[in-house]
């Protein structure tokens, strides 16, 4: 029996056929079973675009094949970067991308990935030991063709900010300062600025976000919270700034490890409360992986299948996912014991479902899984949670962008598809920068059988944000077979017109693939003029309503 923490520490070392007919926008007076009340006078804070962030680790097919195909590839590319990925990502307003890991980061020497590509060394990838026999050499041995400059070019192409993860386990602090110097020192100012310029990037990259170690309780060094805090203090006691404020993210807890949060902050504040001001965020990682319904806590045994699942597994995954809210609240409370004014925010820089192997679109890609409608509903629910916690969560990064866990995209050579999760990100982008509003959902629960006992789960939840006179409401209906007809009330305004986008399918296992890339796509419903008072949310769906207010 090994848990996730142990696994990572050691690593360092049909149901279907629910028919969907039409679920129209309604201004009628038919019966409703649910109510959504949006409270204009109860703002929660601005929805930071950074909670719509991504994570791209140098792991199996994520970078090589997923993002980087190389300049000489037959796959259409922009300077070596997969063109179709760039075009898709531009549509989702990806505010920030975390790279190069994950566990990989604490084994990475950034110097290997800079300078002339032909001179870059080939290194053993952190994940080499997990790669099955027969997996491509590029998964095990890193050619370093994709390094810092290539990553920053990728970010620029898609309109993102880079969030780099520095190696705290196996490189000295000086190398962290040098990487900052390489990225941020002014044109012509340092030898490293000249090395950067020789690769075509004279102007500094101005990288603001830096992770200092990753999962330092496990693959990132196997530290105690106190030991890590001492390392963090040493790494960050002096970092060159080049006139810009750096946002440093400390390696935080996994799941509900409140002891880590407490131990880290206890040690950090031992030298006085000022230390808190140097920390922008505490990373929280939470994967929803245990679908065993309490039968085991074994990391391998507890996982479910991405594609072949029963109705009970649909709800079980959502149950696991909604824990996110209590983790945010729990860690926030502990953080408040040491940081009364809450200078430090949570950075949920790894989140998503994690299934057992078996649903890979490309057999040799480890950790790759095929997202279904279930993962779309899960992701909508999670983004709604982040939208509702703007004061606590400063950034979040879905794990991982492409060819991995809960991916938005799957790609192999010239094949590509957007997953249902990718479609959810496209829909939810409308929230970015809006004022999050308290929104009260009231709806009958979904009832189902869980190991011979009656169980229930909420059926309708979501979030709302205001953009001047435009209101964006997103909601998931978790019920696998019942629509929810909800009265929509905006306290303090009238809805003048509305349009809807709905992602659903008659089969809860529905997913996209290279052969059928458009099996699950969102459908737009026409704009309704005149006051809107209700909406029918289809079963097993993710919905976005955009409403004009007066
Ligand atoms: O996302 C895969 C791995 O999960 C990351 O490398 C690690 O940080 C996490 O445990």
Rounded-to-integer distance, Cα 465 and Cα 434, Å: 5
Asked if the model's pLDDT at residue 5 lies above 70, the reply is: no
Whose Cα sits closest to atom 5 in ligand 1? 102
267-298 pLDDT, tens digit each: 999 998 888 999 999 999 999 999 999 999 99
Contact 379, 43 (CB under 8 A): no
H or E stretch including 524? strand 523-529
**Range with the poorest average pLDDT among 372-376, 466-470, 530-534:** 530-534
The phi, psi pair for 326, rounded to 5°, reads -70, -30
Rounded to the nearest angstrom, the distance between the alpha carbon of 248 and the centre of ligand 1 is 19
Mean pLDDT of the chain: 94
58-78 pLDDT, tens digit each: 999 999 999 999 999 999 999
Residue 540's pLDDT band (cuts 50, 70, 90): very high
- Predicted TM-score (pTM) of the model is 0.95
304-355 pLDDT, tens digit each: 999 999 999 999 999 999 999 999 999 999 999 999 999 999 999 999 999 9
Residue 100's pLDDT band (cuts 50, 70, 90): very high
Asked if the model's pLDDT at residue 18 lies above 50, the reply is: no
Task: Give the rounded percent of residues in the chain with a pLDDT score beyond 70.
Answer: 95
**Range with the poorest average pLDDT among 28-32, 90-94, 337-341, 432-436:** 28-32
H or E stretch including 347? strand 345-353
Rounded-to-integer distance, Cα 268 and Cα 343, Å: 13
- 25-26 and 534-537 beta bridge pairing: antiparallel
Whose Cα sits closest to atom 7 in ligand 1? 102
Contact 409, 97 (CB under 8 A): no
Query: Helix 373-387 and helix 311-338: axis angle, to 10°?
Result: 20
DSSP string, 214-226: SSTTTTTT---HH
Rounded-to-integer distance, Cα 495 and Cα 502, Å: 19
- What 3-state DSSP class applies to 138? helix
Q: What pLDDT is stored for residue 30 in this prediction?
A: 52
Q: Which residues partner with 475 through β-bridges? A: 462, 543
Instruction: Residue 329: name the closest of 385, 381, 280 by CA.
Output: 385
Per-residue CA distances from 35 to 32, 113, 287, 489 (Å): 8, 54, 31, 8
More confident residue, 527 or 60: 60
Whose Cα sits closest to atom 3 in ligand 1? 102
Rounded to the nearest angstrom, the distance between the alpha carbon of 102 and the centre of ligand 1 is 5
The atom number, within ligand 1, closest to the CA of 55 reads 1
DSSP 493: S
Rounded-to-integer distance, Cα 75 and Cα 307, Å: 28
Contact 485, 34 (CB under 8 A): yes
Per-residue CA distances from 406 to 48, 202, 377, 422 (Å): 21, 36, 12, 9
Residue 19's pLDDT band (cuts 50, 70, 90): very low
Q: Which residues are catalytic?
A: 215, 350
Q: What is the dihedral of CA 295, 301, 305, 309, to 10 degrees?
A: -20
The atom number, within ligand 1, closest to the CA of 57 reads 6
Token pair for 42: 């109860």
- 96-99 and 53-55 beta bridge pairing: parallel
H or E stretch including 332? helix 311-338
| Average pLDDT, integer, range 387-394 | 98
193-250 pLDDT, tens digit each: 999 999 999 999 999 999 999 999 999 999 999 999 999 999 999 999 999 999 999 9
151-184 pLDDT, tens digit each: 999 999 999 999 999 999 999 999 999 999 999 9
Token pair for 505: 């399918």
The atom number, within ligand 1, closest to the CA of 214 reads 8
Mutate to test the pocket of ligand 1, among 60, 399, 406 (most ligand atoms within 8 A of CB): 399
Per-residue CA distances from 103 to 57, 66, 141, 269, 398 (Å): 8, 18, 16, 27, 15
Token pair for 520: 């699950």
- 247-250 and 523-529 beta bridge pairing: unpaired
**Residues lining ligand 1, CB < 6 A?**
8, 57, 101-103, 214-215, 350, 399-400, 405
Asked if the model's pLDDT at residue 28 lies above 70, the reply is: no
Asked if the model's pLDDT at residue 25 lies above 60, the reply is: no
| Average pLDDT, integer, range 359-377 | 97
């Amino acid at each position: 029996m090994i848990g996730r923490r142990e696994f990572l520490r050691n690593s360092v070392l049909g149901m279907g056929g629910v028919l969907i007919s039409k679920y129209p926008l309604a201004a009628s007076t038919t019966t409703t079973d649910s109510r959504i009340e949006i409270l204009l006078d109860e703002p929660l804070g601005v929805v930071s675009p950074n909670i719509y962030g991504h994570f791209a680790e140098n792991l199996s097919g994520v970078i090589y094949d997923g993002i980087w195909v190389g300049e000489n590839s037959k796959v259409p590319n922009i300077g070596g970067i997969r063109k179709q990925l760039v075009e898709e990502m531009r549509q989702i307003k990806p505010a920030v991308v975390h790279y190069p890991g994950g566990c990989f980061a604490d084994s990475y020497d950034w110097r290997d990935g800079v300078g002339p590509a032909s001179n870059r060394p080939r290194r053993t990838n952190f994940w080499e030991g997990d790669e099955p026999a027969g997996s491509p050499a590029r998964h095990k041995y890193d050619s370093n063709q994709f390094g810092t400059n290539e990553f920053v070019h990728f970010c620029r192409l898609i309109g993102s900010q880079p969030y780099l993860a520095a190696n705290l386990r196996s490189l000295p602090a000086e190398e962290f300062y040098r990487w900052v110097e390489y990225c941020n020192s002014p044109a012509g100012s340092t030898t490293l600025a000249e090395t950067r310029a020789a690769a075509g990037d004279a102007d500094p990259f101005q990288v603001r976000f830096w992770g200092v170690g990753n999962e330092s309780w496990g693959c990132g060094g196997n530290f105690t919270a106190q030991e890590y805090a001492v390392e963090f203090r040493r790494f960050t006691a002096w970092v060159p700034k080049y006139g810009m404020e750096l946002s440093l993210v400390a390696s935080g807890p996994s799941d509900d490890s409140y002891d880590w949060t407490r131990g880290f902050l206890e040690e950090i504040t031992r030298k006085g409360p000022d230390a808190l001001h140097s920390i922008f965020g505490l990373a929280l990682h939470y994967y929803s992986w245990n679908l065993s319904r309490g039968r085991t806590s074994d990391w391998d045994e507890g996982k479910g299948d991405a594609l072949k699942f029963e109705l009970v597994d649909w709800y079980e995954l959502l149950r696991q996912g909604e824990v996110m809210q209590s983790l945010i609240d729990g860690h926030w409370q502990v953080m408040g014991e040491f940081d009364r004014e809450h200078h430090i925010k949570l950075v949920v820089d790894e989140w998503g479902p994690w299934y057992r192997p078996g649903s890979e679109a490309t057999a040799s890609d480890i950790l790759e899984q095929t997202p279904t409608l279930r993962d779309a509903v899960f992701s909508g629910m999670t983004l709604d949670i982040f939208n509702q916690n703007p004061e606590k969560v400063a950034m979040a990064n879905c794990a991982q962008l492409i060819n991995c866990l809960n991916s938005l995209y799957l790609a192999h050579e010239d094949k590509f598809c957007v997953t249902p999760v990718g479609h959810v990100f496209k829909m939810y982008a409308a929230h970015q920068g809006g004022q999050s509003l308290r929104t009260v959902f009231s709806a009958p629960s979904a009832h189902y059988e869980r190991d011979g006992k009656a169980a229930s789960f909420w059926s309708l939840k979501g979030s709302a944000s205001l953009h001047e006179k435009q209101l964006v409401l997103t909601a998931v209906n978790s019920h696998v077979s019942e629509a929810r007809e909800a009265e929509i009330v905006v306290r303090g305004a009238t809805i003048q017109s509305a349009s809807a986008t709905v992602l659903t399918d008659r089969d809860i296992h529905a997913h996209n693939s290279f052969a059928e890339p458009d099996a699950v796509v969102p459908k737009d419903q026409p704009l309704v003029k005149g006051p809107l008072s209700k909406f029918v949310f289809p079963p097993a769906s993710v919905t976005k309503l955009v409403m004009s207010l007066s």
